[in-house]
Amino acid sequence: MGDGQTVTCTTAGTPYKAEYGKKPSPDCGHRYNAPSSTTSSGKFHVTATSTWTIDWQATTGQSGQLTEIRSSAVDITVAEVQVLN
């Protein structure tokens, strides 16, 4: 996640709905405890890796299994907002 934390998701996650508000994700999420301005680059370097295991079978009776791994990375800015009433 760029802040020293790692998140491992075993499902596709729960799509966000407005009624969830600020509640943490029930199955796959991450909250930053500090803004990215606390880092030397001003950004968090986030890497995501997805692993797919594919079982296949042809009409000829042949079958097998494939594993596909995809990774992507991005630098993100995380800001902090404080609101007073």
Residue the block writes with tokens 């299994």: 65
Structure token digits, residue 37: 């301005």
Q: State the pTM of this model.
A: 0.69
For 19-50, what is each residue's pLDDT tens digit? 988 888 888 888 898 999 999 999 999 999 99
The pLDDT-based confidence of 8 (bands split at 50, 70, 90) is very high
Is residue 68 a contact partner of residue 55, using CB atoms and an 8 Å limit? no
Separation between Cα atoms, residue 46 and residue 53, nearest integer Å: 23
Top pLDDT among 21 and 1 is at 1
Is residue 71 a contact partner of residue 48, using CB atoms and an 8 Å limit? yes
